[in-house]
Protein backbone atom coordinates (compact mmCIF):
# COMPACT_ATOMS: atom_id res chain seq x y z
CA UNK A 1 0.00 0.00 0.00
CA UNK A 2 1.49 3.25 -1.15
CA UNK A 3 1.52 6.23 1.12
CA UNK A 4 -0.75 9.10 0.23
CA UNK A 5 1.10 12.10 -1.16
CA UNK A 6 1.79 14.83 1.35
CA UNK A 7 -0.48 17.82 0.96
CA UNK A 8 1.18 20.70 -0.85
CA UNK A 9 2.26 23.64 1.29
CA UNK A 10 -0.20 26.48 1.49
CA UNK A 11 0.80 29.42 -0.72
CA UNK A 12 2.67 32.10 1.23
CA UNK A 13 1.63 35.70 0.95
CA UNK A 14 3.90 37.91 -1.09
CA UNK A 15 6.56 39.76 0.78
CA UNK A 16 5.62 43.30 1.72
CA UNK A 17 8.22 44.91 -0.56
CA UNK A 18 6.66 43.04 -3.49
CA UNK A 19 3.22 44.32 -2.51
CA UNK A 20 4.61 47.82 -2.28
CA UNK A 21 6.12 47.59 -5.76
CA UNK A 22 2.76 47.06 -7.46
CA UNK A 23 1.26 50.25 -6.03
CA UNK A 24 0.97 52.92 -8.77
CA UNK A 25 1.49 55.84 -6.35
CA UNK A 26 4.85 56.61 -4.71
CA UNK A 27 4.77 54.62 -1.48
CA UNK A 28 6.95 53.67 1.47
CA UNK A 29 6.74 51.44 4.53
CA UNK A 30 7.50 53.11 7.86
CA UNK A 31 8.21 51.63 11.26
CA UNK A 32 8.26 53.65 14.44
CA UNK A 33 11.65 53.39 16.14
CA UNK A 34 13.13 54.80 19.31
CA UNK A 35 14.41 57.89 17.49
CA UNK A 36 11.38 58.31 15.23
CA UNK A 37 9.92 56.81 12.06
CA UNK A 38 12.34 54.78 9.92
CA UNK A 39 11.88 53.88 6.24
CA UNK A 40 11.78 50.08 5.85
CA UNK A 41 10.83 49.78 2.19
CA UNK A 42 10.08 51.97 -0.85
CA UNK A 43 8.57 51.32 -4.27
CA UNK A 44 9.91 52.31 -7.72
CA UNK A 45 7.35 55.12 -8.08
CA UNK A 46 8.79 56.85 -5.00
CA UNK A 47 12.33 56.50 -6.32
CA UNK A 48 11.22 58.09 -9.60
CA UNK A 49 9.50 60.95 -7.77
CA UNK A 50 12.41 61.80 -5.49
CA UNK A 51 15.38 60.75 -7.60
CA UNK A 52 16.96 58.89 -4.66
CA UNK A 53 18.27 55.34 -4.85
CA UNK A 54 16.78 52.59 -2.71
CA UNK A 55 19.94 52.27 -0.61
CA UNK A 56 19.82 56.02 0.12
CA UNK A 57 16.36 55.73 1.72
CA UNK A 58 15.88 52.28 3.25
CA UNK A 59 17.01 52.22 6.87
CA UNK A 60 17.07 56.03 7.11
CA UNK A 61 14.89 58.28 9.22
CA UNK A 62 11.88 59.71 7.43
CA UNK A 63 13.47 63.20 7.64
CA UNK A 64 15.84 62.17 4.84
CA UNK A 65 12.98 63.28 2.56
CA UNK A 66 12.44 66.62 4.37
CA UNK A 67 13.38 69.90 2.68
CA UNK A 68 15.48 71.86 5.17
CA UNK A 69 14.78 75.23 3.54
CA UNK A 70 11.09 75.28 4.42
CA UNK A 71 8.80 75.42 7.42
CA UNK A 72 9.21 72.25 9.51
CA UNK A 73 6.03 72.67 11.55
CA UNK A 74 4.26 70.07 9.40
CA UNK A 75 7.02 67.53 9.92
CA UNK A 76 6.74 67.97 13.68
CA UNK A 77 3.02 67.23 13.56
CA UNK A 78 3.74 64.14 11.46
CA UNK A 79 6.30 62.79 13.95
CA UNK A 80 3.93 63.35 16.86
CA UNK A 81 1.09 61.53 15.07
CA UNK A 82 3.31 58.56 14.26
CA UNK A 83 4.56 58.40 17.84
CA UNK A 84 0.94 58.11 18.99
CA UNK A 85 0.26 55.42 16.38
CA UNK A 86 -2.22 57.63 14.53
CA UNK A 87 -2.73 57.64 10.77
CA UNK A 88 -3.70 60.73 8.80
CA UNK A 89 -2.92 63.08 5.93
CA UNK A 90 -0.12 65.66 5.98
CA UNK A 91 1.01 68.24 3.43
CA UNK A 92 4.78 68.66 3.62
CA UNK A 93 7.72 70.15 1.77
CA UNK A 94 9.83 67.23 0.47
CA UNK A 95 13.26 67.23 -1.17
CA UNK A 96 14.55 65.53 -4.30
CA UNK A 97 18.02 64.06 -4.64
CA UNK A 98 19.39 67.15 -6.39
CA UNK A 99 18.24 69.47 -3.62
CA UNK A 100 15.10 70.77 -5.34
CA UNK A 101 11.95 70.82 -3.24
CA UNK A 102 8.35 69.84 -3.98
CA UNK A 103 5.11 69.88 -2.05
CA UNK A 104 3.72 66.44 -1.32
CA UNK A 105 0.61 65.13 0.38
CA UNK A 106 1.43 61.98 2.34
CA UNK A 107 -1.42 59.65 3.33
CA UNK A 108 -0.60 57.29 6.19
CA UNK A 109 -2.46 54.09 7.04
CA UNK A 110 -1.67 51.89 10.03
CA UNK A 111 -0.64 48.30 9.30
CA UNK A 112 -0.87 45.19 11.50
CA UNK A 113 2.30 44.91 13.57
CA UNK A 114 3.88 41.67 14.76
CA UNK A 115 5.90 43.44 17.42
CA UNK A 116 5.55 46.49 19.60
CA UNK A 117 6.67 49.01 16.97
CA UNK A 118 3.76 50.44 14.94
CA UNK A 119 4.04 50.22 11.17
CA UNK A 120 2.53 52.52 8.55
CA UNK A 121 2.00 52.54 4.82
CA UNK A 122 2.59 56.01 3.35
CA UNK A 123 1.61 57.13 -0.12
CA UNK A 124 2.83 60.49 -1.46
CA UNK A 125 1.04 62.65 -4.05
CA UNK A 126 2.94 65.53 -5.67
CA UNK A 127 0.73 68.61 -5.15
CA UNK A 128 3.28 71.25 -6.21
CA UNK A 129 1.20 72.53 -9.13
CA UNK A 130 -1.85 72.93 -6.92
CA UNK A 131 0.18 74.77 -4.27
CA UNK A 132 1.69 77.03 -6.93
CA UNK A 133 -1.78 77.90 -8.22
CA UNK A 134 -3.01 78.61 -4.69
CA UNK A 135 0.05 80.75 -3.95
CA UNK A 136 -0.42 82.68 -7.21
CA UNK A 137 -4.05 83.38 -6.33
CA UNK A 138 -3.11 84.52 -2.82
CA UNK A 139 -0.34 86.73 -4.22
CA UNK A 140 -2.76 88.29 -6.71
CA UNK A 141 -5.17 89.11 -3.89
CA UNK A 142 -2.36 90.60 -1.79
CA UNK A 143 -1.25 92.81 -4.67
CA UNK A 144 -4.80 93.92 -5.32
CA UNK A 145 -5.20 94.81 -1.65
CA UNK A 146 -1.89 96.68 -1.71
CA UNK A 147 -3.03 98.56 -4.82
CA UNK A 148 -6.30 99.60 -3.18
CA UNK A 149 -4.48 100.69 -0.02
CA UNK A 150 -1.90 102.62 -2.02
CA UNK A 151 -4.62 104.36 -4.01
CA UNK A 152 -6.45 105.43 -0.85
CA UNK A 153 -3.29 106.69 0.83
CA UNK A 154 -2.17 108.53 -2.32
CA UNK A 155 -5.49 110.37 -2.62
CA UNK A 156 -5.46 111.42 1.03
CA UNK A 157 -1.82 112.45 0.76
CA UNK A 158 -2.63 114.47 -2.37
CA UNK A 159 -5.38 116.35 -0.51
CA UNK A 160 -2.96 117.41 2.22
CA UNK A 161 -0.33 118.21 -0.39
CA UNK A 162 -2.59 120.64 -2.24
CA UNK A 163 -3.12 122.58 1.00
CA UNK A 164 0.63 122.79 1.58
CA UNK A 165 1.32 123.84 -2.00
CA UNK A 166 -1.29 126.57 -1.73
CA UNK A 167 0.26 128.03 1.42
CA UNK A 168 3.79 127.77 -0.05
CA UNK A 169 2.66 129.72 -3.14
CA UNK A 170 1.11 132.37 -0.89
CA UNK A 171 4.34 132.69 1.11
CA UNK A 172 6.36 133.02 -2.10
CA UNK A 173 4.15 135.90 -3.25
CA UNK A 174 4.33 137.70 0.11
CA UNK A 175 7.91 136.98 1.12
CA UNK A 176 9.60 136.46 -2.24
CA UNK A 177 11.30 139.85 -2.15
CA UNK A 178 12.54 139.59 1.43
CA UNK A 179 16.36 139.50 1.54
CA UNK A 180 16.68 137.26 4.60
CA UNK A 181 18.67 134.09 3.64
CA UNK A 182 16.63 131.89 5.97
CA UNK A 183 13.34 132.92 4.35
CA UNK A 184 14.68 132.40 0.84
CA UNK A 185 16.16 129.01 1.79
CA UNK A 186 12.92 127.92 3.49
CA UNK A 187 10.85 128.88 0.45
CA UNK A 188 13.23 127.08 -1.94
CA UNK A 189 13.38 123.91 0.15
CA UNK A 190 9.62 123.87 0.68
CA UNK A 191 9.00 124.25 -3.06
CA UNK A 192 11.42 121.41 -3.88
CA UNK A 193 9.85 119.14 -1.24
CA UNK A 194 6.34 119.80 -2.53
CA UNK A 195 7.45 119.01 -6.10
CA UNK A 196 9.02 115.71 -4.99
CA UNK A 197 5.87 114.87 -3.03
CA UNK A 198 3.75 115.54 -6.11
CA UNK A 199 5.94 113.16 -8.15
CA UNK A 200 5.61 110.53 -5.40
CA UNK A 201 1.83 110.87 -5.46
CA UNK A 202 1.77 110.26 -9.21
CA UNK A 203 4.00 107.23 -8.76
CA UNK A 204 1.77 105.78 -6.05
CA UNK A 205 -1.31 106.30 -8.19
CA UNK A 206 0.47 104.65 -11.12
CA UNK A 207 1.29 101.64 -8.93
CA UNK A 208 -2.32 101.37 -7.77
CA UNK A 209 -3.35 101.13 -11.45
CA UNK A 210 -5.57 104.20 -11.32
CA UNK A 211 -3.40 106.19 -13.72
CA UNK A 212 -1.99 104.60 -16.88
CA UNK A 213 1.71 105.40 -17.34
CA UNK A 214 2.88 107.45 -20.30
CA UNK A 215 4.90 104.94 -22.32
CA UNK A 216 7.26 106.21 -25.00
CA UNK A 217 10.52 105.21 -26.71
CA UNK A 218 13.34 105.86 -24.24
CA UNK A 219 17.11 105.62 -24.51
CA UNK A 220 17.40 103.16 -21.62
CA UNK A 221 21.13 103.72 -21.18
CA UNK A 222 20.74 107.48 -20.81
CA UNK A 223 17.67 107.10 -18.58
CA UNK A 224 19.40 104.64 -16.24
CA UNK A 225 22.54 106.82 -16.13
CA UNK A 226 20.49 109.90 -15.20
CA UNK A 227 18.50 107.97 -12.59
CA UNK A 228 21.63 106.56 -10.95
CA UNK A 229 23.21 110.03 -10.89
CA UNK A 230 20.23 111.24 -8.87
CA UNK A 231 20.08 108.15 -6.64
CA UNK A 232 23.82 107.80 -5.98
CA UNK A 233 24.10 110.60 -3.36
CA UNK A 234 21.53 108.83 -1.16
CA UNK A 235 23.42 105.51 -1.10
CA UNK A 236 25.54 104.56 1.95
CA UNK A 237 29.21 105.57 1.53
CA UNK A 238 30.32 101.92 1.63
CA UNK A 239 28.39 100.99 -1.54
CA UNK A 240 30.24 100.77 -4.86
CA UNK A 241 27.96 101.36 -7.86
CA UNK A 242 29.01 100.17 -11.33
CA UNK A 243 27.17 100.69 -14.61
CA UNK A 244 27.70 98.81 -17.89
CA UNK A 245 25.96 100.00 -21.07
CA UNK A 246 26.68 98.13 -24.33
CA UNK A 247 26.65 99.89 -27.68
CA UNK A 248 23.78 99.68 -30.11
CA UNK A 249 20.89 99.22 -27.66
CA UNK A 250 17.48 99.83 -29.27
CA UNK A 251 15.14 102.25 -27.49
CA UNK A 252 12.89 100.75 -24.82
CA UNK A 253 9.17 101.34 -24.50
CA UNK A 254 8.83 102.51 -20.88
CA UNK A 255 8.25 105.45 -18.54
CA UNK A 256 11.44 107.15 -17.22
CA UNK A 257 9.81 108.30 -13.97
CA UNK A 258 8.60 104.82 -13.10
CA UNK A 259 11.96 103.38 -14.16
CA UNK A 260 13.71 105.61 -11.62
CA UNK A 261 11.21 104.64 -8.92
CA UNK A 262 11.86 100.94 -9.63
CA UNK A 263 15.63 101.44 -9.51
CA UNK A 264 15.30 103.30 -6.20
CA UNK A 265 13.43 100.41 -4.59
CA UNK A 266 15.85 97.79 -5.95
CA UNK A 267 18.93 99.74 -4.80
CA UNK A 268 17.41 100.26 -1.35
CA UNK A 269 16.85 96.50 -1.03
CA UNK A 270 20.40 95.78 -2.22
CA UNK A 271 21.95 98.22 0.26
CA UNK A 272 20.08 96.67 3.17
CA UNK A 273 21.03 93.15 2.04
CA UNK A 274 24.70 94.22 2.06
CA UNK A 275 24.41 96.03 5.41
CA UNK A 276 25.60 99.25 3.79
CA UNK A 277 28.87 97.85 2.38
CA UNK A 278 29.36 96.04 -0.90
CA UNK A 279 29.10 96.39 -4.67
CA UNK A 280 26.07 96.87 -6.93
CA UNK A 281 26.51 96.30 -10.65
CA UNK A 282 23.90 97.57 -13.10
CA UNK A 283 24.22 96.11 -16.60
CA UNK A 284 22.01 96.73 -19.63
CA UNK A 285 21.36 94.18 -22.38
CA UNK A 286 19.28 93.60 -25.49
CA UNK A 287 17.10 90.62 -26.41
CA UNK A 288 17.02 89.99 -30.13
CA UNK A 289 13.68 89.82 -32.00
CA UNK A 290 12.22 86.35 -32.30
CA UNK A 291 12.78 85.27 -28.70
CA UNK A 292 9.63 83.28 -27.86
CA UNK A 293 9.90 84.07 -24.16
CA UNK A 294 8.74 87.63 -24.92
CA UNK A 295 5.18 88.88 -25.19
CA UNK A 296 6.12 90.64 -28.45
CA UNK A 297 8.84 88.40 -29.93
CA UNK A 298 8.84 90.26 -33.23
CA UNK A 299 10.10 93.49 -31.60
CA UNK A 300 12.69 92.16 -29.16
CA UNK A 301 13.33 93.68 -25.77
CA UNK A 302 15.73 95.80 -23.75
CA UNK A 303 16.51 95.17 -20.11
CA UNK A 304 18.83 95.64 -17.21
CA UNK A 305 20.13 93.60 -14.30
CA UNK A 306 20.94 94.88 -10.82
CA UNK A 307 23.31 92.48 -9.04
CA UNK A 308 24.45 92.90 -5.44
CA UNK A 309 26.95 91.13 -3.19
CA UNK A 310 24.56 90.71 -0.26
CA UNK A 311 23.55 87.68 1.78
CA UNK A 312 21.25 86.30 -0.93
CA UNK A 313 17.88 84.61 -0.51
CA UNK A 314 16.84 81.12 0.52
CA UNK A 315 14.70 79.18 -2.01
CA UNK A 316 11.65 79.71 0.18
CA UNK A 317 12.22 83.47 0.43
CA UNK A 318 13.01 83.70 -3.28
CA UNK A 319 9.63 82.17 -4.12
CA UNK A 320 7.89 84.93 -2.10
CA UNK A 321 10.21 87.85 -2.93
CA UNK A 322 7.63 89.72 -5.04
CA UNK A 323 4.81 89.30 -2.51
CA UNK A 324 3.75 92.43 -0.62
CA UNK A 325 5.59 92.82 2.70
CA UNK A 326 7.69 89.68 2.18
CA UNK A 327 10.99 90.56 3.84
CA UNK A 328 14.01 89.08 5.57
CA UNK A 329 14.15 92.11 7.84
CA UNK A 330 11.84 93.50 10.50
CA UNK A 331 8.09 93.08 10.19
CA UNK A 332 6.21 95.70 8.19
CA UNK A 333 8.94 96.18 5.54
CA UNK A 334 9.27 94.67 2.10
CA UNK A 335 6.67 96.40 -0.09
CA UNK A 336 9.40 97.68 -2.45
CA UNK A 337 9.71 94.73 -4.84
CA UNK A 338 5.93 94.30 -4.92
CA UNK A 339 5.69 97.92 -6.06
CA UNK A 340 8.38 97.30 -8.69
CA UNK A 341 6.39 94.30 -9.94
CA UNK A 342 3.31 96.51 -10.30
CA UNK A 343 5.26 99.22 -12.12
CA UNK A 344 6.76 96.72 -14.56
CA UNK A 345 3.40 95.10 -15.25
CA UNK A 346 1.88 98.48 -16.06
CA UNK A 347 4.68 99.06 -18.59
CA UNK A 348 4.19 95.63 -20.22
CA UNK A 349 7.54 94.62 -18.75
CA UNK A 350 8.68 91.78 -16.53
CA UNK A 351 10.73 91.36 -13.37
CA UNK A 352 12.56 88.24 -12.23
CA UNK A 353 15.01 87.50 -9.41
CA UNK A 354 17.89 85.04 -9.18
CA UNK A 355 19.60 84.40 -5.85
CA UNK A 356 21.28 81.82 -3.68
CA UNK A 357 22.17 82.03 0.00
CA UNK A 358 25.52 83.76 0.43
CA UNK A 359 25.83 84.62 -3.28
CA UNK A 360 23.91 87.88 -3.52
CA UNK A 361 20.86 88.58 -5.68
CA UNK A 362 20.25 89.69 -9.26
CA UNK A 363 17.06 91.52 -10.24
CA UNK A 364 16.25 91.49 -13.96
CA UNK A 365 13.92 94.07 -15.55
CA UNK A 366 12.87 93.65 -19.19
CA UNK A 367 11.01 96.23 -21.29
CA UNK A 368 9.59 95.83 -24.82
CA UNK A 369 11.80 97.32 -27.48
CA UNK A 370 10.34 100.29 -29.36
CA UNK A 371 10.95 99.29 -33.00
pLDDT in tens, 38-69: 898 999 999 999 999 989 999 888 888 888 76
User: Total structural domains in the chain?
Assistant: 3
Q: What span, in angstroms and rounded, lies between the C-alpha atoms of 149 and 371?
A: 36
Which residues, other chains included, contact 13 with Cβ-Cβ below 8 Å and sequence gap of 6+? none
Domain membership flag for residue 167: yes
Residue 331: pLDDT over 60: no
Minimum mean pLDDT range among 65-74, 156-165, 187-196, 284-293: 65-74
For residue 99, give the CATH number of its domain: 3.30.450.20
pLDDT of residue 135: 74
Note whether residue 4 is domain-resident: no
195-204, 291-300, 342-351 — which is least confidently predicted? 291-300
Cβ atoms 294, 304 nearer than 8 A: no
Is 220 found in the same domain as 362? yes
Last residue of a domain, one of 207, 228, 251: 207
What is the pLDDT, as a whole number, of residue 145?
Answer: 65
Same domain, 221 and 360: yes
Q: Averaging pLDDT over each range in 183-197, 255-269, 328-342, which range is the top one?
A: 255-269
Give 223-275 pLDDT, tens digit per residue.
999 999 988 888 888 899 999 999 889 899 888 888 888 898 899 888 888 88
Same domain assignment for residues 191 and 282:
no
Q: Is 144 left (phi over 0), alpha (psi -120 to 50) or beta?
A: alpha
Query: Is the pLDDT at 299 greater than 80, yes or no?
Result: no
C-alpha pair distances (Å), 310 with each of 143, 228, 272, 362, 363 = 26, 19, 8, 10, 13
In a domain, 20, yes or no: yes
Among residues 65, 92, 126, the one where a domain terminates is: 126
- Asked if 220 and 357 sit in the same domain, the reply is yes
Highest-pLDDT range among 93-107, 203-217, 337-351: 93-107
CB of 316 closer than 8 Å to CB of 368 = no
Residue 197 and residue 116 share a domain: no
Asked whether residue 109 carries a pLDDT value surpassing 70, the answer given is yes
Which whole-number Å values give the CA distances from 66 to 93, 102, 138, 180, in the listed order? 6, 10, 25, 71
Residues 316 and 222 in one domain: yes
Mean local confidence (pLDDT), 9-27: 65
pLDDT per position as a tens digit, 162-180 = 788 888 888 777 776 777 8
Residues 315 and 235 in one domain: yes
Model confidence at 6, in pLDDT bands (50, 70, 90)? very low
Residue ending a domain, among 207, 233, 257, is: 207
In a domain, 65, yes or no: yes
5 in a structural domain: no
Answer yes or no: do 327 and 281 share one domain.
Answer: yes
Span of 184-193, 205-214, 329-338 with lowest mean pLDDT: 329-338
Burial class (CB in 10 A: 0-12, 13-18, 19+), 340: buried
Average pLDDT score over residue span 65-76: 73
Average pLDDT over the chain, rounded to whole?
79
Instruction: Please indicate, yes or no, whether residues 164 and 264 belong to a single structural domain of this protein.
Output: no
Identify whether 3 is part of a domain.
Answer: no
Q: What CATH number should be reported for the domain holding residue 251?
A: 3.30.565.10
Are residues 235 and 363 located together in one domain of the fold?
A: yes
Residue 21 placed within a domain? yes
In a domain, 297, yes or no: yes
* Gap between the Cα atoms of 284 and 252, Å rounded: 11
In a shared domain, residues 80 and 161: no
Residue-range definition of the domain harbouring residue 243: 216-368
Of 2-16, 55-69, 280-294, which range is least confident?
Answer: 2-16
Are residues 20 and 93 part of one domain?
A: yes
For residues 268-289, average pLDDT: 88
Question: What's the pLDDT score for residue 329?
Answer: 54
The segment with the largest mean pLDDT, out of 20-34, 73-87, 134-148, is 20-34
Amino acid sequence: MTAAPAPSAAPQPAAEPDRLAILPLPALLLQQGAAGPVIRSVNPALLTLTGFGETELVGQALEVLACHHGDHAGWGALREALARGEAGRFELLFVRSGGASFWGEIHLAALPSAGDAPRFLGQIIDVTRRRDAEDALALSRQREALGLLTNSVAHEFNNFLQILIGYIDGLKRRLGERPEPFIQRAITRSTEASERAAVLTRQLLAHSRRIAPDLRPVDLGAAVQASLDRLRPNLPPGIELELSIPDGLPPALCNPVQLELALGHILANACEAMAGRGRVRVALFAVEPGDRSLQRPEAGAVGLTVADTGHGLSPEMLSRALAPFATTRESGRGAGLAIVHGLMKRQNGTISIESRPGEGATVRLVFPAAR
